[in-house]
Amino acid sequence: MPLRDFRLPEFDAPEVILPPGELEHETTIVNMGPQHPSTHGVLRLVLKLDGETVLRLVPVIGYLHRGKEKLAEQRTYTMIIPYTDRLDYLASMYMNLGYVRAVEQLLGIETPERGKYLRTAVAELQRLASHLLWLGSFALDLGATTVFLYTFREREIVVDLFEKLCGARLTYNYMRFGGVAADCPPGWVDEVRDYLDLQQARLAEYEAILTDNPVFRVRTEGIGIISAQEALNYGLSGPTLRGSGVAFDVRKADPYDAYGELDFNVITAQEGDCFARYRVRMDEMRESLNIVRQCLPRLQVPGEVSAKLPRVIKPPAGEAYARVEAPRGDFGVFVVSDGSASPVRLRFRSPSFANLSALDHMCRGMKLADVVAILGSIDIVLGEVDR
């Protein structure tokens, strides 16, 4: 039977006869979170329901607000790098990268060739690690436990690779102004190559479990639709925007590091539902493998990985805005300097914050159980939403 013809079996529900006019307008208010396994952190949702149908949803955020932008005003530029690790803690490399690129713009410095390629390879490995974690937890939200175990097995390899680079497994503090903290150890490039081959095969394994799985399809197809125009108007970005058919990717629109010299595609899907966002991320992982593969020959060439900079960094007065395509979307960093050793203002534009603001729109008219699927499909990290 072709999949599109699959329907959940009909069942004969006993007919409930209600007195006319009653129960029609009865609504229920349900609180979900902040401690709830499917809200992926400390997110609280207040839902107004008509039976099982969502009429309105109000996200309540701020439970993880640590005032990073305020803290940064009293730290030197270098001291801020580890703080950025704790924004999107599932893609710390990318948070580092966005921040150092903004300061590099202020300083007007260039990264050496090898540093650029190392940064790009690491960034795409980070995207893989982040999407793998997303895939596992998204499948788990929908009740598919196996995929979670598979993806964590492979993510572990990436985390090990990062540990060899910088000693840390989650908060890497690896990027520096004008390069990276340390060159990769001997043999690292070969290990990455082995991983890429393994991951390529394993992606097909995950898809065999999910893509044609009727239950997975019914839970994701046509669920949480947002049109291209609405997605743009809400300022969505990353796979959540590209799943609605908008080919906006900072790596192409505003190339940084080595992306301008690499050959890759921007993945889009047209439907704008949970399944489209799933497909975009799956194909993006293949593109990431492809990008890392293109970087590897350049990492065989020895060279400097970081520009020479004074110990205390005092950028000239002015302001800079840098953006990078983090796994969750367009991560922007705005920094204002007055010439001193600390920024006057540091602002993080977090993709999850904008993506989460459209949740109410996506969930209206859907069933309560779909809220979990939709929230999983937009892939938020609360560390970055709340900052």
Residues that bind other proteins (CB under 8 A): 27, 29, 46, 48, 56, 58, 60-62, 65, 67, 69-70, 230, 232-236, 246, 248, 253-254, 321, 323, 330, 332, 334, 336, 344-345, 347, 349, 353-354, 357-358, 361, 386-387
Least Cβ distance, residue 38 to other proteins (angstroms): 20
Least Cβ distance, residue 206 to other proteins (angstroms): 31
Closer CB to other proteins, 57 or 122, in the complex? 57
Least Cβ distance, residue 67 to other proteins (angstroms): 6
Closer CB to other proteins, 45 or 157, in the complex? 45
Q: Tell me if 3 sits within 8 A of 214, measured CB to CB.
A: yes
Q: Tell me if 291 sits within 8 A of 251, measured CB to CB.
A: no
Least Cβ distance, residue 73 to other proteins (angstroms): 8
Tell me the C-alpha distance between 355 and 88, whole Å.
14
Tell me the C-alpha distance between 95 and 333, whole Å.
9
Tell me the C-alpha distance between 99 and 95, whole Å.
6
Least Cβ distance, residue 20 to other proteins (angstroms): 21
Closer CB to other proteins, 60 or 79, in the complex? 60
Closer CB to other proteins, 104 or 330, in the complex? 330
Q: Tell me if 303 sits within 8 A of 112, measured CB to CB.
A: yes
Closer CB to other proteins, 286 or 347, in the complex? 347
Q: What's the per-residue H, E or C state across 37-82?
A: HHHCCCCEEEEEEECCEEEEEEEECCCCCCCHHHHHCCCCHHHHHH
Closer CB to other proteins, 134 or 248, in the complex? 248
Task: Give SS3 for 287.
Answer: helix
Least Cβ distance, residue 357 to other proteins (angstroms): 4
Least Cβ distance, residue 124 to other proteins (angstroms): 23
Closer CB to other proteins, 162 or 248, in the complex? 248
Task: Kindly report whether the peptide bond that precedes residue 34 is cis, defined as omega within 30 degrees of 0.
Answer: yes
Tell me the C-alpha distance between 114 and 264, whole Å.
20
Tokens 């196996």 found at: 146
Q: What letter represents residue 205's amino acid? A: E
Closer CB to other proteins, 129 or 335, in the complex? 335
Closer CB to other proteins, 98 or 136, in the complex? 98
Least Cβ distance, residue 321 to other proteins (angstroms): 7
Tell me the C-alpha distance between 70 and 276, whole Å.
38
Least Cβ distance, residue 349 to other proteins (angstroms): 4
Distances (CA, A) of 328 to 7, 261, 344: 33, 23, 27
Helices marked H in the chain? 68-72, 77-85, 92-107, 113-141, 145-166, 188-210, 214-220, 228-233, 239-242, 250-253, 274-299, 351-357, 359-363, 368-378, 382-386
